[in-house]
Structure 1
Amino acid sequence: MKSKISKILIIMGLLICVGSLSIKGYSKYLENKSTKSFEEKIDKNPNEPKEDDFSNVKAGDEIAIINIPAIKLNTVVIESIEKEYLNHYVCHFENTAMPGQYGNFSLAGHSSYRYNEVFNELHKISLGDEIIIKTLNNEFTYIVNDILEVNPEDTYVLDQDNEIKELTIVTCTNKGKDRLIVKAKIDDDKNNNK
């Protein structure tokens, strides 16, 4: 009897592991597909500088690529932090600034082994590291100027200040009990005051 129960438990454990790996594989597939699709759309050689048009952006749209060389991250940013997107992508908080705009361009993504692992290495980022955001028509370089941990209720990190161009990244830490926050300001020298 114990042998039969042990076998059933082992089979159930294997099924759970296979299921988890399948979900992770599917999530990585979606992320890579969307990243490649957006990179193909980027205007690589514009004849004249163009403003990005974010007026018709809706939930699920690809809006940018985030590149953090220090942690070898290069992936797409999707509009909306709804769970159906957040489980697979880096997501943009609706009603926060868009890339390169005045205000707080705010992003969220998972750093877990349960969902997409996109920000698993974010804890290795340092002050002064670059975060490059590529839109269809522009590229913006932000420089990390603050790294902190906050409680999930501390939403002040998303506050908008229309006097500056900043970026905020939010992910989980401490087994999901807290939030790791990375703040960066736009580098005017590299962005020619766009």
Structure 2
Amino acid sequence: MKHKISFCLIAIGILIASVPFTGALYYQYRQQLLYQSYLEDIHSHAFAGNAADRDGDADDASRHMSESDQIFEPFSLKTAAGGLSLDGNLPVIEGEPPTKSNKKEEEPTVLGRISIEKINADLMLVEGAGAKELKWGAGHIKGTGVPGEPGNCAIAAHRNYTFGSYFSRLNELEQDDRVTVSYLGETFHYRVSDIKTVLPEDNTVLQPPEEGEILTLVTCAPKGSNRLRLIVHCLPEEDPFFPATSGEALPQL
């Protein structure tokens, strides 16, 4: 009898321990299906009629932010799908590994991928940076610019993730490291221009530049805490004002 109880307890422990792992595998499988569907849509030009509208909406929202005091809080439950919030904080990009749910879940809108070879990150890019979107990969913060257009395109992702690197190694980036973003069938290459940590209430890092384009990557810092925000700014490779590489590593947390 004791042996049966011990066996049952061990089996229960194994099942509990496997929940995060199976949940991650489940999302990886669904990510593959969702991204494959996105690629098929791109190849069949299904997005051709919608791309201009999407870009126009993002540009309008980016201009709206520059004219207001509102701030983005993509991981706050107070926001709608990672949109605008009034609580004055930058993203809290933390969370537990996703687990499978019996409830039918709405799939996000896939925009492309973001790849950072230096830290072995290759994530599906979806629209919105709320809790439900960030389960799928990196999220484009609504209201910011879009790749390839003037403005500040902000992308957020988890850092403390059990399975999958996401942005967990973002602090390892150095000046001139390459970041590649595929967006609605087009590919854009950027180089890291600076990396910094800021307080959660510092929303200046998401403001659009006076001219040109900038890509902003956002996650929490230091690792294991949401006390600060790790910000990585990147400029297009062809930007004439891109700073010369100094060869010196940037500060890390």
**How far apart, in 2, do the equivalents of 1:186 and 1:76 lie?**
20
Inter-partner Cα distance in structure 2 for 1:181 and 1:148:
5
Aligned residue in 1 for 2:235: 185
- 8 Å Cα contact 2:124/2:136 also seen in 1: no
Gaps of 5+ in 2: 59-80, 82-107, 241-253
How much is the aligned-residue C-alpha RMSD, in angstroms?
A: 3.3
How many angstroms apart in 2 are the aligned matches of 1:92 and 1:77?
Answer: 7
Tell me how far apart the structure 2 counterparts of residues 8 and 128 of structure 1 sit (CA, whole Å).
54
Separation in 2 of the partners of 1:180 and 1:9? 42
Structure 1 residues 17-50: Cα deviation after superposition (integer angstroms, max 9, x where no partner): 2111122222322333333333444459x9xxx9
Q: Tell me, which stretches of 5 or more residues in structure 1 are unaligned?
A: none
CA distance in 1 between counterparts of 2:140 and 2:57 reads: 15
In proportion to residue count, which structure has more strand? 1
Of 156, 164, 167, the match for 2:215 = 167
The change in CA–CA distance for 1:78 and 1:144 in structure 2 (over 3 A counts) is same
Distance 1:132 1:4, change over 3 A: same
Please point out which of 111, 114, 117 is paired with 1:63. Answer: 111
Identity %: 30
Give the TM-score normalised by the residue count of structure 2. Answer: 0.61
Give the TM-score, by structure 1 length: 0.76
Q: In structure 2, how many angstroms separate the alpha carbons of the residues matched to 1:95 and 1:83?
A: 17
Shift of 1:137: 4.0
Alignment of 1:29 with 2:29, yes or no, is yes
Are residues 1:76 and 2:124 paired?
yes
- Per the alignment, in what secondary structure is the counterpart of residue 188 of structure 1? coil
Number of matched pairs: 184
Aligned to 1:121: 169
Q: Using a 3 Å threshold, how does the CA distance of structure 1 residues 160 and 126 change in structure 2: closer, same or farther?
A: same
Residue pairs, 1:104-115, within 5 angstroms: 104-114=152-162
Against the structure 1 CA distance between its residues 176 and 37, is the aligned structure 2 distance closer, same or farther, given a 3 Å change threshold? Answer: farther
1:18 correspondence with 2:18:
yes
- Report the Cα offset of residue 126 of structure 1: 1.7
CA drift at 1:71: 2.3
